[in-house]
Chains A and B, each alone.
Chain A
Amino acid sequence: MPAWAVQLIAHHVRPKIMHNDQFVATAPPDRPPLTSGPSSLPVALTVNGSTHVVDLEPRVSLLDALREHLDLTGSKKGCDQGTCGACTVWVDGRRVLACLSLAVTCEGRSVTTIEGLAAGEELHPMQRAFIECDAFQCGYCTAGQIMSAVALLEEGNATTDAEIAESMSGNICRCAAYPNIRAAIREVRDAGEGGHRATA
């Protein structure tokens, strides 16, 4: 594992960011009736445990809100069409695609990104396993792979390699690190550490 690659993974472990355009609330907001747009409106997004209110047009995807407005650039934009999985995040604990979710629809929901996975400086076991198993090359798909992989272990459908492959098929890796990704998932599964979640 080259040093730059280790750094690339470690980069996902920045301490929790509180870039908020306006203020940080503590309690997650509910979903009030709302009519808005097409101009921007304040949208309260709870990401990795903290709530940020950002001015967003309704057409802004959750992915763009995270990357462009909250400076959480761990989640990647591969296709913007739902076909690659690089943007995988959790909404209310379930893995979804941030590129096909409008940010405004996530009000009152709890969003978890790769930045919310580590406990402070301590990597999530899946992040560690990805490094140990050399489960990436360019790293572009990695955040999505890891978010999917942790969710997969929680879903409990990772008994066989075939199951892992099927359940991870929504995450494309153009470097084809698939065997090593599966190895990382097996490692965490077998160590029984899969359920650990820092924030969700």
Chain B
Amino acid sequence: MRPLSYRRAAEIGEAVATVSTEPTSAFLAGGTTEVDLVRLGVARHDLLVDINDLPLADIENLPGGGLRIGALARMNDVARAAQVVEMYPGIAQALLLGASEQLRNMATMGGNLCQRVRCAYFRDNVSPCNKREPGTGCSALDGQNRGHAILGTSEHCIATHPSDVAVALVAFDAVVHTIGPSGARIIPIENFYLLPGRTPHIEHPLEHGELIVAIEVPPLPVARGSLYLKFRDRQSYEFALVSVLSALLVQDGRITEVRLALGGVGTTPWRARRAEAQLVGAPATAGSFAAAAAAELDAAVLHEHNAFKQELAQRAIVRGLDQAMVSAVHGGAR
């Protein structure tokens, strides 16, 4: 493991100033991505700035409804917060279906948004990988790509975005609050994730040293009936092959509002906008669900080992919408 220097930040300004002026430094939150990748040699940081003492762990109700989740709130604490369970059950479920109890006690929400891909070629630190070493090529295109993405890919990278909770946050139009060397700003979460395109090594619009301070989720009645389903190779402690966040409002048998997002299939947490557009106004039937699912996955680009994800994702969407009907119809979505 490369030698590391360490600094424990007492204030936000100090943390931002330190990381932004040290090119090979990074923030250290729960460390469950950072320590792992520094040890593997994939993250080439020389200085870690520990942000765990910053006062950013609160979960607060916003005056106009909605929730502000501090960047340092731990996954487990967010998942079990009463407001989250009540207002955004899909967020709670996505969190609890991720990682393990131990990891969720460590891992923070800010770190979760910034976690890196689990592509084995990225992590092995030797294979050609455009994300790790821009311009070297993508070993997954013709390699082991069973876990890789089928939506939002480019010929330069097909790695799946691994976060579960980000899928729920994307569905709910959350916004990311940051403080950087040039001040504070608010980034809609969908803009927080960049498609790989020709620059898979650039994943976020964050400046070096820009600190996530909070995630805000707007008030959203439909989210009260949301649910998150996750399909994977083993029942627990595993990343998604496909996951789906679904939430519906139904009136007189027709869908009046829908939120749908996918994990495990996109290079970013994937808001299923095509399917959503097709569902609004449609009868809440299995036929509509299947048609919308097919429309969303129509754009899939398949590789040798991950072709199965196209159908799996469609079935997952149908099941997700079907199950969301239960909470949507029986008053969950008010």
Q: Is the CB of A169 within 8 A of B5?
A: no
**Bound complex: CA A105 to CA B34 (Å):** 13
Contact A102/B28 with A35-B5, A82-B103, A95-B102 known, Cβ cut-off 8 Å:
yes
* Residues in chain A near residue B237, CB distance under 8 A: 169-170, 172
* Residues in chain A near residue B40, CB distance under 8 A: 81
Q: Is the CB of B102 within 8 A of A105?
A: no
Interface residues of B (CB under 8 A from A): 1-8, 10, 28, 30-32, 35-36, 38-40, 46-48, 50, 52-53, 99-103, 105-106, 235-237
Name the residue on A nearest B6 (C-beta).
Answer: A58
* Residues in chain B near residue A25, CB distance under 8 A: none
Contact A33/B103 with A102-B28, A105-B50, A166-B236 known, Cβ cut-off 8 Å:
no
CB of A73 within 8 Å of the partner chain: no
What are 8 A-B interface contacts by the 8 Å CB criterion? Answer: A32-B8, A36-B7, A58-B48, A101-B31, A101-B35, A102-B31, A169-B236, A172-B237
A149 to chain B, nearest CB (A): 11
**Bound complex: CA A171 to CA B36 (Å):** 18
* 9 smallest beta-carbon distances between A and B, as pairs: A170-B100, A38-B3, A58-B6, A169-B236, A37-B5, A59-B4, A169-B237, A94-B105, A35-B7
**Bound complex: CA A34 to CA B3 (Å):** 17
**Bound complex: CA A82 to CA B50 (Å):** 19
* Residues in chain A near residue B39, CB distance under 8 A: 80-81
CB of A51 within 8 Å of the partner chain: no
Contact A35/B6 with A94-B105, A152-B101, A169-B236 known, Cβ cut-off 8 Å:
yes
Q: For this complex, into which size category does the number of interface residues on chain A fall? A: 35 or more
**Bound complex: CA A36 to CA B235 (Å):** 42
CB of A100 within 8 Å of the partner chain: yes
Name the residue on B nearest A79 (C-beta).
Answer: B36
Contact A95/B7 with A82-B32, A85-B100, A102-B28 known, Cβ cut-off 8 Å:
no
Q: Is the CB of A38 within 8 A of B8?
A: no
Name the residue on A nearest B123 (C-beta).
Answer: A81
Instruction: Specify which of B3, B8, B48, B106 is in contact with A31 (CB 8 Å cutoff).
Output: B8
Contact A170/B6 with A100-B36, A105-B50 known, Cβ cut-off 8 Å:
no
**Bound complex: CA A152 to CA B106 (Å):** 16
**Bound complex: CA A170 to CA B103 (Å):** 8
A156 to chain B, nearest CB (A): 11
* Residues in chain A near residue B100, CB distance under 8 A: 85, 169-171
* Residues in chain B near residue A169, CB distance under 8 A: 100, 235-237
* Residues in chain B near residue A48, CB distance under 8 A: none
For the residues of A in contact with B, the DSSP-based class is mixed
Q: Is the CB of A102 within 8 A of B102?
A: no
* Residues in chain A near residue B31, CB distance under 8 A: 100-102, 105
* Residues in chain B near residue A85, CB distance under 8 A: 100, 102
**Bound complex: CA A97 to CA B5 (Å):** 21
* Residues in chain B near residue A148, CB distance under 8 A: 101-102
* Residues in chain A near residue B35, CB distance under 8 A: 61, 100-102
* Residues in chain A near residue B99, CB distance under 8 A: 170
Further contacts, 15 of them, CB under 8 A, given A34-B7, A97-B102: A31-B53, A33-B8, A33-B10, A35-B5, A36-B5, A37-B4, A38-B5, A58-B6, A95-B101, A97-B32, A100-B35, A102-B28, A105-B52, A166-B236, A171-B100
A87 to chain B, nearest CB (A): 9
CB of A96 within 8 Å of the partner chain: yes
Q: Is the CB of A34 within 8 A of B105?
A: no
Q: Is the CB of A57 within 8 A of B3?
A: yes
B75 to chain A, nearest CB (A): 12
A160 to chain B, nearest CB (A): 14
B21 to chain A, nearest CB (A): 13
Contact A59/B1 with A33-B10, A80-B39, A96-B106 known, Cβ cut-off 8 Å:
yes
A150 to chain B, nearest CB (A): 12
Q: Is the CB of B6 within 8 A of A37?
A: yes
**Bound complex: CA A58 to CA B49 (Å):** 11
**Bound complex: CA A165 to CA B100 (Å):** 11
* Residues in chain B near residue A88, CB distance under 8 A: 102
Q: Is the CB of A82 within 8 A of B6?
A: no
B286 to chain A, nearest CB (A): 28
CB of A151 within 8 Å of the partner chain: yes
Name the residue on B nearest A93 (C-beta).
Answer: B105
* Residues in chain B near residue A100, CB distance under 8 A: 30-32, 35-36, 103, 106
**Bound complex: CA A33 to CA B50 (Å):** 10
CB of A188 within 8 Å of the partner chain: no
B6 to chain A, nearest CB (A): 4
